[in-house]
Amino acid sequence: MDDPVRRHPTRAEQLEILATLVADQAATGDRVLDLGCGTGFIAKMILDRRPDLAVTGVDRNATSLADAAENLAGHGAEWIEGDLEAIDGIAIPEGPYRFVVTALTFHDLPDEAKRGVIGFAARHLADGGYFLLYDRLRLTEAALFPLQQSIWDRIERIHGVAMRSAESFSAYAADIAPNNRPASLEDYFDWFAEVGLAASCLHLHGNVALIAGARRES
Q: From the CB of 168, what's the least distance to ligand SAM, in Å?
A: 25
Distance of CA 20 to the CA centre of its chain: 14
Prior bond of 96 cis (ω within 30°): yes
59, 137, 206, 213: residue in contact with ligand SAM (rule CB under 6 A):
59
Classified as helix, coil or strand, 186 is helix
Q: Which letter does DSSP use for residue 85 in this model?
A: G
85 binds ligand SAM (CB under 6 A): yes
What number of other Cβ atoms are within 10 A of residue 175's Cβ?
11
CB nearer to ligand SAM: give 144 or 162.
Answer: 162
Pairing of strands 197-205, 208-215: antiparallel
Q: Which letter does DSSP use for residue 76 in this model?
A: S
Binding residues for ligand SAM, rule CB under 6 A, total 18
CB nearer to ligand SAM: give 42 or 211.
Answer: 42
Query: Interface mask (CB under 6 A) for ligand SAM, residues 106-145, using x and -?
Result: --xx------------------------------------
84, 92, 100, 212: residue in contact with ligand SAM (rule CB under 6 A):
84
Contact partners, residue 130, CB within 8 Å, separation at least 6: 21, 25, 98, 99, 100, 212, 213, 214
19, 32, 103, 211: residue in contact with ligand SAM (rule CB under 6 A):
103
Question: Where does this chain touch ligand SAM (CB under 6 A) — which range of 24-32, 60-68, 136-144, 151-159?
Answer: 60-68
Query: CB–CB of 207/136 below 8 Å?
Result: yes
Q: Which residues bind ligand SAM (CB under 6 A)?
A: 4, 36-38, 41-42, 59-61, 64, 83-85, 103-105, 108-109
